[in-house]
Structure 1
Amino acid sequence: MLGISKRTLATVSQNYTDFKWLLPFAVSILVFVQFAREHTENSVLACVIKAAPIVSLAVFTWVRGVRLPQRRQTALFIFLALCLSALGDVFIQLKAAGYFLHGMAAFAASQFLFTVAFGFRPLNIFILLPLLGVGASYYYLLYPALKAHKEPVFVSAVLGYLLLITGMIWRAFAKYHAARKAGRGRNADAVWLLVGSVGALSFVVSDCTLAWWTFVRDFPHADAIVMGTYYLAQLCITLSVLHEGAVGPAKVPNKGKYEEAKKKASPPPPKKVASPPPAPKKVDEATNTKSTGSPAAPRSPNGGKKKHY
């Protein structure tokens, strides 16, 4: 009546169902901004406040991704990556106690899982080559500070992490480029892949800032830049699971109920109308012919018997 199609109403309903699960993330961000602790504070409260937004995103991914069959394949890897990211947040918060390298290992594993979530087809090497050039240039700038660090393991650790995050942003850009090239650039699917690409880029900005802040020198508002771009990155990558649409509640029925629901939803097959029986063939008694029009053979008077003389 108002000119709103059923498809539009379904999309609005789906978006409401998805986004209402982001409310815990918004609350945890407000708590972090209001009660943020020092980045060197070794306390349980500081670890909880820092990791809470990522845990809330993991819950969102589980409810609106892993539990929905249409999104499960991609969302499962993102869910595991978010869990490792929350663990990495705790380790980075405890870096004064010597857990910074543990945090790097957790985030390296999460970058690999993000890469798997974005997929490896199509490869699109032409996107990878400039990213490798930028990554190599940044590592060249970091190398003197890494070489002078008291722990030489960071020379290889930072290089390995830089390769992993370069691979992650490569796969995010390649997946969005493939969707756009396929003619889906204005569809909701491609929009969420673009959001995921923005998240991958924001992750690179956050980690590059953290590396410079940690190994080279401190600069004003470094903590705010690192955490702001980090939370934005995790939110955008999490939202990329929405590129595989799924309307409906998060609860997944068991197989029997699911098949029964599919049968009820599908329209019944059309009933076959029985064809009328063929009309009986009429015989014309006068001419002894059937309805086909061909005359019957005449009978001889003696019944067809030959006479013997």
Structure 2
Amino acid sequence: MAFLATGTAEWRQMVKTGGPRMILFFITVALYFSLIGQTEPQSASSTILKCLPIVSLWIFVLLTGFELKKTHRYKQLILIGLIFSCGGDLLLNYDLFEAGMASFGVAQIFYISAFGFSPLRPWLGLPLYGAGVAAVVLLFDQLPLIIKICLPIYGALLLTMCWRSWARIDSVKNILRLTCGVGSAVFVISDSIIAFDKFYTPVSNAKIAIMVTYYAAQFGIALSVLEQTTVVAKKTAKTSSSSSKRRQNGMKAKKLA
């Protein structure tokens, strides 16, 4: 019962803090799926519709109290990852696949940097890398030469991002880290659908599946910045409380003197 109460409280806090700031994201996602079928491929309108949900996540991160300070490093790295993701969306929409993959690769590097390597928990990464190797072996003969070089590199970055996100989950009660872990796993699924659809065999409703999982992935990762917002707020409140107590003690000492 205590676990359920804690979990419910976490969800309520997340919805209360993040819900209003995520409204723009949900609106832009709805616009994408409602209007994308009416646009021409590789057009400015389709590119804008595709990028808007990710741009809305930039705004979400900025609205959580973003500052250029060391205490906000996690938010900074996630924001940069989202910016490069948006660049990848733009490039892929104009069928610049290799450049788009490179942009997403940089995004994964920033996400990995945000998640860090402590605790290490290598047993979480080994199954991911094993599955990644199997997928590359399966696709390898179907790949163009340049993709044979790029795909293993990007795959390693993507799977490392997922591993490091999972390694941060210290408790199922930590809803934000859990949501981020789910988001990273869904990111792997999204990119796997792209690879299999493009280089192995057509996947039914691939475009819809790719974009649904992609937006869900970025949502889960972006939402995790709320944890740093809470931590910084608690530290600020604690510092303010300590300063107030010191001032009160100083005033009492003066009165006694």
TM-score tier, shorter chain, comes to 0.7 to 0.9
Q: Whole-Å Cα distance in 1 between the matches of residues 243 and 231 of structure 2?
A: 14
Q: Whole-Å Cα distance in 2 between the matches of residues 13 and 125 of structure 1?
A: 32
Change beyond 3 A, Cα 1:65–1:234: farther
SS in 2 for 1:123: coil
- What is residue 266 of structure 1 aligned with on the other side? 244
Residue 168 of structure 1, aligned match among 158, 161, 182: 161
Residues 1:215 and 2:199 aligned together: yes
Residue 241 of structure 1, aligned match among 208, 212, 225: 225
Task: Deviation per CA, 1:253-272: give whole Å up to 9, x if none.
Answer: xxxxx99x938972422613
Unaligned runs of 5+ in 2: 1-7
Shift in Å at residue 193 of structure 1?
0.3
TM-score normalised by length of structure 2: 0.84
Shift in Å at residue 217 of structure 1?
2.4
Residue 127 of structure 1, aligned match among 105, 112, 124: 124
Shift in Å at residue 66 of structure 1?
2.3
Q: Whole-Å Cα distance in 1 between the matches of residues 207 and 214 of structure 2?
A: 10
Task: Deviation per CA, 1:77-129: give whole Å up to 9, x if none.
Answer: 0000001111110111100xxx1111001000001111111111111112121
Shifted more, 49-58 versus 127-136: the winner is 127-136
Residue 107 of structure 1, aligned match among 101, 104, 109: 104
Shift in Å at residue 13 of structure 1?
7.4
Task: Please give the residue correspondences for 1:149-168 in structure 2 after superposition, counting only pairs within 5 Å.
Answer: 149=144, 152-168=145-161
Shift in Å at residue 227 of structure 1?
0.5
Change beyond 3 A, Cα 1:122–1:65: farther
- What is residue 33 of structure 1 aligned with on the other side? 33
Task: Deviation per CA, 1:273-294: give whole Å up to 9, x if none.
Answer: 749xxxxxxxxxxxxxxxxxxx
Q: Whole-Å Cα distance in 2 between the matches of residues 236 and 134 of structure 1?
A: 23
- What is residue 255 of structure 1 aligned with on the other side? none
Task: Check whether the contact 2:32–2:49 (CA below 8 A) recurs between aligned residues.
Answer: yes
Task: Please give the residue correspondences for 1:39-188 in structure 2 after superposition, counting only pairs within 5 Å.
Answer: 41-64=41-64, 66-67=66-67, 72-95=72-95, 99-146=96-143, 149=144, 152-176=145-169, 179-180=170-171, 185-186=172-173
Shift in Å at residue 133 of structure 1?
0.8
Task: Check whether the contact 1:41–1:93 (CA below 8 A) recurs between aligned residues.
Answer: yes
Shift in Å at residue 243 of structure 1?
2.1
Task: Check whether the contact 2:65–2:229 (CA below 8 A) recurs between aligned residues.
Answer: no
Count of residue pairs brought into register by the alignment: 243
Shift in Å at residue 134 of structure 1?
1.0
Change beyond 3 A, Cα 1:211–1:39: farther
- What is residue 193 of structure 1 aligned with on the other side? 177
SS in 2 for 1:66: coil
Higher helix share: 2
Work out which of the two has the higher radius of gyration on C-alpha atoms and give 1 or 2.
1
Q: Whole-Å Cα distance in 2 between the matches of residues 101 and 235 of structure 1?
A: 24
Q: Whole-Å Cα distance in 2 between the matches of residues 41 and 237 of structure 1?
A: 28
**Percentage of pairs with the same residue:** 28
Shift in Å at residue 14 of structure 1?
7.5
Task: Deviation per CA, 1:16-75: give whole Å up to 9, x if none.
Answer: 343211111011011101101489712111100000000000111122152397961211
Task: Deviation per CA, 1:200-226: give whole Å up to 9, x if none.
Answer: 000000000001111122232011111
